[in-house]
Amino acid sequence: MQRMPERRRGDKPVPDDLSPFLNAAQAKALPELEKKGVVLYAVRRPLFQKSVLIVKLLHAKERYGVLLEDGTVDYFPDIPIRDQSNMGIAFGHFAGEQAIE
């Protein structure tokens, strides 16, 4: 995945209330993912499309994935990731990990 500069203005990468963006399988998967060192990095909210939940592996530099609707993680998505290193994002209470299947 290529990294792009942050363009979001006003919206947090991870909203305070995740309920509109998660289905039951995703909500169930997040705590398990957190135990394994995978955190919710951002929620992409494209116009007129479903939201995309981006996760990051904390123990692997530059390793990202997409939390799929069935609660599994696609670690090889073809999407650009914006640089959020200067945004002071805290991952702690949204974190989690899924075994690669």
pLDDT in tens, 43-63: 888 889 888 999 999 888 778
pLDDT on residue 98? 38
88: left (phi over 0), alpha (psi -120 to 50) or beta: left
Q: Provide the whole-model pTM.
A: 0.66
Tell me, what's the pLDDT at 5? 57
Q: The tokens 């002071």 sit on which residue?
A: 88
Please tell me the predicted confidence (pLDDT) of residue 88: 41
- Do 56 and 63 touch, CB atoms closer than 8 A? yes
CA 20 – CA 69 distance, rounded (Å): 13
**Sheet with 38-44, side-by-side order of all strands:** 38-44, 52-57, 64-67, 73-74
